[in-house]
Structure 1
């Protein structure tokens, strides 16, 4: 029971590994298909394994862990953690049997449960005002929940093309980007050693200065939703152009250090690729509409995938009392972001160069699995490393030790 209580207090301990598993399964569907181990074309299942399985588990793990702390409320109870994990497994089981409509329906119920856990703590028993951007996380969960219910009925209801496009955009992009736009201003400045503009002293009532970032976040969320409507009913280029502007303006204004040349460790430098990758994916999709899916993988892999692994690294080390490692250079994470961008480029070229399409699908899938395995191994190893103290000589290389000694004595 003690272990279950710990997981309920820190749901990332079960949801992050589930998300990694879902992601590995999702990409390996392509090699399995091209090897003719299955005859089912995996496009729809792959998208859901990655966005709902991988992304959904990381969102649930982060909000379930950080949400109660941000609100000064009680953590999830044992019933809640069991319910949410079981529902996630039901979604993944449906995807494993390629029951797409059932997976969408179960996703709707899964996210409804997580919303209930979050909103209950917002209105009952909280001891602190939520960060100004937290409503965007609620908006993202709500939109994905409604989209899951809507898409599960697609076989019975005749949606027009604009409505179908809108629901899918809300499901596959809104689910992840809206929580990011809401939480990033509070969390990401820490990666750069900066003070968050969304952080305020504990207060049950609205603190001074809270309303302005709340209004700015709300405007960003509304405009982001409007970009989906524009893409669905007006034109893809118009909607994606607005999306680029909203994300670029909101993140550069609200996340100090994100666009800067200042020195940071591996995690901080990785995050500086998030915005260029997202904008690059949407811009390429605008320029080459027939190659839209491949172009958007630059946004999904190079931006969302990289961001989730970076945040998961900080959450995991922080909650395992290894804040000292977060202050270390974390040079190994340079390898992670380089490999992730290379994977995104590999998947991107598969659509632009048809003759390498199949091989690059396979290479990108296998490389992503390698990245996940390397990340998990290094993260586990971090917990066993000596306490990091800036200025101490850690390297066993004589040349580097001599250079470090010279820097200390100069």
Structure 2
């Protein structure tokens, strides 16, 4: 498989998999036509990657051209692949393959675009990589928690809000959802509290307990349900609880359907069912080019600020940061190499990263006149993480 070349390939192609391996790129015809039309309207040919990133991002912001999001999704496919590859490699999960992980986060482009702050001069690929990795790690962490839980432990841990969302998502009508939730509340009241909190293999309630759950449900259904419905028996309560657990699993971790799966009417792929574009652009080439130049200048200055901040750390701090982000050493190995206790590495790493973040935040406030609220600091922390990874691993990755 080769890396994509040219603007059309960067902004109109999607990664294809065969089994567990990426095999090439498929071009979306509508996106290709859209780029061709836009290129013809420019006053001069434009092959700059930065230009088209800014171009589509501004169109996405203005919401005047619905294909802008699709173009940027295509552009971030390779970033998504490497984030999935890195995370899947480091997270043992026999259930999900690399294509599964890729597809789980490939639809998160809107979250990237919503959080991205171009006025701060950061690169969208670096930010997207951090977001994709974070989203996938959380998905796999939660999936592991569900995988090791029995239905009965899962029902003890789930919140009422999440249970209702799960049942509604499964297509049940409101009255049935009410009944299932009341059975679950009865289970919580009579069975779950008896077990130790750390027990993972919570056993199925015996027939006597199930009958008690059904009796409690029957006592409360007149006052707590909008429509009381029929009485419940022990076996019925068991079926309801098992259905609740199944709904929660399906809601939290749905089957990962391929982005290239055909639609029911065989009319094409999901990628083809995209909103019709508007031909009129609200962007000027000059405006985009000015923004690109300003962003490059900001990126260079930010890099200088962080490099200077690293040089101001003590020798131990510089070494911990370097060894950690080079990725070749475990924390125990870093501790041995530096001559400290293993448990101090995580604490010291957090301390040094906070120092770098403070330097960056101070410079941003003074030089770029950006107010530092919690969302901005969270954004800067995310980008700092990716910047450090790229700084200590500068080599370019390619799909071959």
Taking structure 2 as the reference length, what is the TM-score of the superposition?
0.23
* Higher relative contact order, structure no. (Cα contacts within 8 Å, ≥ 6 residues apart): 2
User: If you compute each CA radius of gyration, which structure gives the higher value, 1 or 2?
Assistant: 2
Q: Normalising by the residue count of structure 1, what TM-score does the alignment of the two structures yield?
A: 0.22
